[in-house]
Structures are given as C-alpha cells and as structure tokens.
Structure 1
Amino acid sequence: MTDTLGQPHWMTAPATAAVFDALEAVGGPDCARFVGGCVRNALVGRPIDDIDIATRLTPEQVTAALQAAGIRALPTGIEHGTVTAISSHLPHEITTLRRDVSTDGRRATVAFTDDWHEDAERRDFTLNALYARRDGGIFDPTGHGVADARAGRIVFVGDPEQRLREDHLRNLRFFRFYAWFGKGAPDPAAVAACAALKDSVDNLAAERISKELLKLLAADDPRAAVRLMAETGVLDVVLKLPADLGRFEALCGIEGDQLFENDPVLRLAALLPSDQVAAARLAERLRLSNPDRDRIVAALSPTPVMKSWMSPREIRREVYRGGRGTFRDRAKLAWAAAPRTATTMQWRGLIALADGWSPPSLPLTGEEVMNAGVPKGPLVGRVIREVEDWWVDNDFLEDKLSIIEKLKAVAQGMVY
C-alpha cells in the first residue's frame, strides 16, 4: 500500500497549485514534487513552515515557466539550482534535482539530474529524503524514510561518516533533528560517526554553528539531545567551555510546565558557566547578535544574588535597575540552579510581581536641579543620580516635596 498524505490545504492552496501548474505546463505531469520538511512535518503531524519543491526542470526552465505564468521568480540559490517562486505573496522554494560532484565539508559542487534517487542519495537523513506528488502520494527512495519519521529515528542516508564529511554542519543537524523529532534511543551508527568527526565542526562558519545551536535549543525538550552532544564531545567543540548541564536541564523543566515559552537564548545562558567574561567571549566567537550577547551576559551577572524570598521592595529595585527582562532571566536561572527547598510557588510569585509592576520615572528634571543652585554641566547629572539612588532606596517615594528637599541637601553638599 502506498503511503499518502491525502490532500491537506497547504498542498492544494491556490498559490501552490499555480506554481505546480506553471511547472507542469513545461515539464509535464509529475515533473515536480513536494520535498523535505513539508512532507516530513505533514507525515508526523507537525505544522508546515515552508513549502519546498523538487523538480526535474533546470533552473532556467523553472524561471521561464514561472514568468510565463505571471509568477515572480527569484534566483535565491541559482548556482545550486534553487529558484524561489512568489505566488500570491507566498514563497515556494524550487530546487532542481541534484547530485554531488565534489564536496569539501563546507561547499558542494553539484550537477543537475532528472533522477529522484540520485537527489535523495545526497540528502542528510532518511526522514528528510521524502517526496510527495500533488495527489499526496509519498515517494520514499531510501525505503526507510516514512518508517523512520513515524518512529522518530534520525538515520543518515547511506554511510553516516560519508554524509558528515560531505557537510560538517550535518553533525549539528543530527542533534537538532534528534531534539525536534527523535524518540527513544538514538541511532548508534549516527552517534558514533558524530563523535568520531566532532572536530570537523570547528571548520564551520560561526554563524552556521550559532544558528543551528539556537534552533536545537528552541525544541520543546532539547535535554536528551544536548546530553548526547556532551557525551559525544560535540558540545565541547561548540562551546569550548564547561557546560552546566544541571542548570540547563532544570531550566528546560521549568519551561516545560508551560509557565514560560521555550527560550533558546536563555537556555544557552543556562548551559554556560557563571562567568560573564567567558560568556561574552563565546558570544563574540559564535557571532551572536549584540542583543543576544548583552542578554546572556546580563543574565549571568553574579549580583545581586537572586533569592526566592526577595521582598517586593527588593524586586522593584532590581527591576528598575536592570529591567524587567533581565530580572526574569536572572530569576529563572537562579530558580534552575537553586536547591529544591524553595517552592515553585515562591519563584512564580517573584516573577509575577516583577511582571505586574511598571517602573516609574524619577519625578525630577534638570531644570529643577539647576534651580536648586547646581550650575549647568556634568554636575547636574551627578546630582540627579544621587537623588535617584536615594529615591530608589526609599521604594520610589511619591512625595514630591521630600524629593525636592533631598535635592536641596544633595546640591548643597556638592556645590558648596
């Protein structure tokens, strides 16, 4: 019996049907098939994020066919046979069937083919080497992709070491797909190959490593995959720092109760040692974005010490000083690292109080400072900062008269 996806809406939507109609007008029936992630996700009941299409047509034929049908064609990866069709504002990535001519672990030279089996042989995992016709019928060239997808087995197409030597990124992709789709024990041959070739990950561009790592950490429960990365030595190659697996796994457990969203950046911070300098160096080496770098460094700040029994006054002060986002990050990391003596309710209450409080603005202007006798210039800022420190220590006093009296005392002490 032939496996089928049926004909879900994403396959028969007018925008997608228009793309297939355009290709078939040139190449005939079944010259194009859905491929990869959309087929895999539909098979296992996951959302469809992108629509990828494989075709026997050359990139030039694809472009001509789309343009003849009035569909915009973008040469997004023309040297590797990829053209993106924009149909009713929706992108469809169309790639000509390919076979590898040569690879160096980072780049591949390809030749186009019209053989679906050759195209499948160059793909990474059996669950990604799946194709579907317009009628929903699945074509499984390896003979194992459908069964592996349903069973949650991440198995390389062909020889694992050969696949890894062709593209070093596949080492990280194995763990990422295991985090997202894996069930049960990992494939022993794949694990052994990833461990044997772990050092090849160092040959990858930093941006490719960080992108793959953050995708892995965004899975609902990446704990088993990250633990496996540590056991194979791949995690050491990526981080080059001792990993705090205990805090990381505890954080994932906190997020797993649906109180918080899955947060790959904070999960990365949890994996790192509590060393802001080392974390900043890692962020620079992996070329994380500046906001992600700054967030990780702030989350790992050693002071003030976060405690589940912080008073509302202390919470307000820290939210005002560091921002609500940093407070939440630091509280969740402290929660993950804390002995299980503090109750979940305490930590939740602490974060809820921070979320529910809107920091006020200091009710003091530069003009008021100068009216108190402080000359225009840097001294104005110094006075404001000292008054602000007093105001925060007094739990954001709303008494304007008391603030002005404090201003006068500070101004007198600085000016005279």
Structure 2
Amino acid sequence: MSVSLPDQAWRHQDGLSDLIKSLGGDEMIRFVGGCVRDTLLNLPVNDIDCATRHHPEKTIDLIKSAGFKAIPTGIEHGTITALLPSCAVEITSLRQDVSTDGRHATIAYSDNWEDDAKRRDFTINALYAEAESSRIHDYFGGLADLEKHSVRFIGNPETRIAEDHLRILRYFRFYARFGQATPDATALAACIKRANDLMALSRERIASEVLKILALPNPLAVITLMIESGIFKPILPEITIEGANHLQRLLEREKAYDVSGGDALMRLAALLPEEADLARSLAQRLRFSKEQKKYLIALLTQEDEKPLVLAWAIGKQATMARILLSDRNEDTVKTAIAALKAWERPVFPLKGGDLIAKGLIAGPVVAAVLQNVQKQWVDAEFPNSDWVQEKADSAIAEAKAQ
C-alpha cells in the first residue's frame, strides 16, 4: 500500500517548490531522513534534508539557476546548502560507500536511491518522500519500525558500527527519542560488543553526541541503560550508576522548581563526582570550549557560599545549577531557587572618583579601598547605597590613618 508524506507547514517555505522544480522534481530529488520521519510522527521539523541524483557541481548550478544562493557546506561529502528566503535546505547527492574505517568513509556517487538508503544508519532514518507527489519510499521497514517505536540498524548492526563507531552513541540517542519498547536485542548486543570502538573516535564527536543525549527531555532511562551496558567505560569511566541517581534527583528538581531543562552540562555534572580537578581534565579530554570548561568547573567546585553571593561570583545560571546539584534539603533548595529567579545582578554604587572626592589620594590605595568595600557589600548581600557610603567613609578613615 502506498504511503504519502502528510502536509506540514515546513513544506510551504517560500521558494521550496521552485527549488524542487529546478532540480527536476520527483525523478531527481526527494526529502529524506529526519524531516520525513518527524512529519510522519507529527513532530516539528527543524531541518529540511533532500537527496538528489545530481552530482554536487550540477546541484550548485541548478540552485543558482533557481535564483538561490548555493553554499558548498559539505561538498566533500556531496552536500550543498541552498539558501531560500526563509530557510536553508541541505541537498546531498546519492552515495554509496567504497571503504570505511570506523571514522571516515570514502564514497562514490550513485543514481540509485536504494544504494543511498543502504549506507544510512537506522531504518527510520532511511525514509524518502518524493518532493512533489509526497509518495514515500521505504527500503528497510522503517515505516513499520516507526509504528512500533523500534530503532533498528539497517543490515548487520556490528557491520554498521564497524563502518562508523559513532553509531553506537547515535543508537542510544535515537532510542531515547523514538524507542518506547525494549531495545532491539541485536542492536543493543552489537553496541555492547563494540563499545571499545568508541575510543577510536575524536573527543569532539563523543562530546557532541553525549551532550545531545543529555539535552533530551528525559535522558535518565537511556543513560542508565548505557551505564549498565558498559558503554561509558571506554570513554567516560567516571560516569557510574551513582551518577545516574544524582541525575534522577536533578531531573526531579528541574521539574519541581520549574527550571528550564535541557542544560546538558548541568546534567553531565550530575553524573560526575564533585571534583574541580576532574572537571578540568574531563573538559580538556572532551575538547570543550573555554566557556563550557569554565561552566563545568564552576558546577563541580565545592563551595558553601550564600546563593546570591555565589551568583555574584559565578553567575546566576551557574549558581542555580549548583543549587539544584547540591545535597541541600528541599526546603533550602526551594528558597534559594526562588531568590535567584527574582535576583538581578546589582551595580556596585561606588566608584574610584567617589573616593577621591571624599579626600582619598589617587593611586593604589583607591583600588584597595574600593575592593575592600565591594567585598563587604557582596558578603552582606548588596545593601543600599547609604550602607556603602558608611563603609566607604570608615575605610577611607582607616586608610588615611595608616
């Protein structure tokens, strides 16, 4: 029985029908992957991906002839991005693998849709929809797997993992998003057997996938499954079942105190021992950005400051995360989170010029007094300017007496 792609708003993006016609319509271009899968599941579509029989150079020419800008975002892999007035469309030439080494693939272009489908990872990601007629082509039972909420590899799972080791982590991410039944036994067994293959991947690719998993609405079940299956041992041995218990408490607190979920680094911190040195080494190991490293260190540094004082030092977001991660009792957490939500970083109401106007001689002493008064002001949780002026007068008198 023929199945058609349901209509959704993304299919009416300005310029999309013109682009499709320019590339040759149903014979030459089809929607593929996530946009087909998510439309069938009635989920929002964020990225429009297409597959085409054209080679990349021809694709560029046809995009330009339709009046759109063509960007060779991944031309070495056959991918061209067409910039439409209101969105971007990624168009990739049909491919088949010539050789793989677990990290990279050497490809050849093809004009056969099934050749292209064979090199994709999961059946639910290998659904193609004709761009004009909407007819869906399913080569490996992806429609049935969507119906059953099952995530299965295309072909032999061990072979597919040997081709690209990242598919282990992708399997757990897609299972967390779309799987509702028991994990496919063959797929899970292959991931467990090949877990050590993850050590051959770049740290950046590992970090990206782990953070994507942790950013999902409720990653607890899949993270627990990964821990129990030994998936983290080769790459993040610090993550243990105790960490999963901490993650469970964090997720419960996110919901209870209406804190926006999806902070993947905060959730990663829940899985790790509270050690600043570990945060530094792990951030370096995973090639985190400077900001990511700074944030993770802040979350795993043991301090017992008052919440607003801590917020002044490390920021409101990091402080809220620290409170949610802490062993404080629930009443204390509730009070602290409420105070932080209402808090806006105040401006210190004293400047060096004010001290000089009060008779202090310009120079290092001004900076020292300013720093001293500001520390007292922060420790006292930001009292009003009259309090600050009183402390400034005392500090000035003390400085003059020395």
1:266 correspondence with 2:252: no
What SS is found at the alignment partner of 2:121?
coil
Please give the alpha-carbon distance, in whole angstroms, between the structure 2 residues aligned to 1:205 and 1:199. Answer: 13
Instruction: Give TM-score scaled by structure 1 length.
Output: 0.89
Find the partner of 2:231 among 224, 234, 250: 234
Counterpart amino acid of 2:378? V
1:136 correspondence with 2:127: no
Counterpart amino acid of 2:368? R
Q: CA deviation at 1:151?
A: 2.3
What SS is found at the alignment partner of 2:50?
strand
1:220 correspondence with 2:208: no
Of the structure 1 ranges 394-403 and 83-92, higher mean CA displacement relative to structure 2 is found in 394-403
Q: Compared with structure 1, are the counterparts of its residues 190 and 391 closer, same or farther at alpha carbon in structure 2 (3 Å cutoff)?
A: same
Percent identical: 39
Q: Which digits, 9 at most, give the CA deviation of each residue in 1:325-376, with x for residues without a partner?
A: 2221111111xx45xxx44x65333211122123433332223444566554
Q: Compared with structure 1, are the counterparts of its residues 51 and 401 closer, same or farther at alpha carbon in structure 2 (3 Å cutoff)?
A: closer
Find the partner of 1:327 among 319, 333, 337: 319
Counterpart amino acid of 1:353? A
Contact preservation (8 Å) 1:5, 1:137: yes
Find the partner of 1:381 among 354, 360, 367: 367
Q: Compared with structure 1, are the counterparts of its residues 104 and 391 closer, same or farther at alpha carbon in structure 2 (3 Å cutoff)?
A: same
Of the structure 1 ranges 76-85 and 396-405, higher mean CA displacement relative to structure 2 is found in 396-405
Partner of 2:46: 49
> How well do the aligned residues superpose, as a CA RMSD in angstroms?
2.1
Counterpart amino acid of 1:331? I
Q: Which digits, 9 at most, give the CA deviation of each residue in 1:2-34, with x for residues without a partner?
A: 22223323224342111110011xxx6432110
Contact preservation (8 Å) 1:153, 1:187: yes
Q: Which digits, 9 at most, give the CA deviation of each residue in 1:118-142, with x for residues without a partner?
A: 1111100010011111222211011
Provide the aligned length of Structure 1 versus Structure 2: 396
Of the structure 1 ranges 82-91 and 399-408, higher mean CA displacement relative to structure 2 is found in 399-408
Q: CA deviation at 1:99?
A: 0.8
What SS is found at the alignment partner of 1:353?
helix
Contact preservation (8 Å) 1:386, 1:410: no
1:303 correspondence with 2:309: no
Q: How does 1:118-197 map to 2 (within 5 A)?
A: 118-133=115-130, 134-142=132-140, 144-197=141-194
What SS is found at the alignment partner of 2:106?
strand
Q: Compared with structure 1, are the counterparts of its residues 356 and 67 closer, same or farther at alpha carbon in structure 2 (3 Å cutoff)?
A: same
Counterpart amino acid of 1:276? A
Q: Compared with structure 1, are the counterparts of its residues 218 and 281 closer, same or farther at alpha carbon in structure 2 (3 Å cutoff)?
A: same
Q: CA deviation at 1:167?
A: 0.6
Please give the alpha-carbon distance, in whole angstroms, between the structure 2 residues aligned to 1:13 and 1:364. Answer: 54
Which structure 1 segments of 5+ residues have no match?
Answer: 306-313
1:247 correspondence with 2:246: yes
Find the partner of 1:403 among 381, 386, 391: 391
Contact preservation (8 Å) 1:71, 1:86: yes
Find the partner of 2:353 among 367, 376, 400: 367
Counterpart amino acid of 1:405? D
Please give the alpha-carbon distance, in whole angstroms, between the structure 1 residues aligned to 2:233 and 2:398. Answer: 53
Which structure 2 segments of 5+ residues have no match?
Answer: none
Contact preservation (8 Å) 1:163, 1:170: yes
Counterpart amino acid of 1:139? H
Counterpart amino acid of 2:136? I
Partner of 1:103: 100
What SS is found at the alignment partner of 1:234?
coil
Please give the alpha-carbon distance, in whole angstroms, between the structure 2 residues aligned to 1:404 and 1:118. Answer: 76
Partner of 1:310: none
1:87 correspondence with 2:84: yes
Q: CA deviation at 1:159?
A: 0.3
Q: Which digits, 9 at most, give the CA deviation of each residue in 1:201-230, with x for residues without a partner?
A: 111112111111111111111111111211
Contact preservation (8 Å) 2:16, 2:84: yes
Please give the alpha-carbon distance, in whole angstroms, between the structure 1 residues aligned to 2:71 and 2:147. Answer: 34
Please give the alpha-carbon distance, in whole angstroms, between the structure 2 residues aligned to 1:159 and 1:321. Answer: 52
Counterpart amino acid of 1:381? A
Please give the alpha-carbon distance, in whole angstroms, between the structure 2 residues aligned to 1:118 and 1:201. Answer: 26
Please give the alpha-carbon distance, in whole angstroms, between the structure 1 residues aligned to 2:45 and 2:93. Answer: 21
Q: CA deviation at 1:391?
A: 2.7
Q: Which digits, 9 at most, give the CA deviation of each residue in 1:151-179, with x for residues without a partner?
A: 22111000001000101111111111112
Contact preservation (8 Å) 2:103, 2:165: yes
Q: CA deviation at 1:300?
A: 1.6
Q: Compared with structure 1, are the counterparts of its residues 96 and 257 closer, same or farther at alpha carbon in structure 2 (3 Å cutoff)?
A: farther
Please give the alpha-carbon distance, in whole angstroms, between the structure 1 residues aligned to 2:138 and 2:389. Answer: 78
Q: How does 1:44-83 map to 2 (within 5 A)?
A: 44-83=41-80
What SS is found at the alignment partner of 2:232?
helix
Q: Which digits, 9 at most, give the CA deviation of each residue in 1:285-329, with x for residues without a partner?
A: 111121111111111221116xxxxxxxx4433333333222211
Please give the alpha-carbon distance, in whole angstroms, between the structure 1 residues aligned to 2:287 and 2:22. Answer: 41
Please give the alpha-carbon distance, in whole angstroms, between the structure 2 residues aligned to 1:60 and 1:357. Answer: 55
Counterpart amino acid of 2:3? D
Q: Compared with structure 1, are the counterparts of its residues 68 and 104 closer, same or farther at alpha carbon in structure 2 (3 Å cutoff)?
A: same
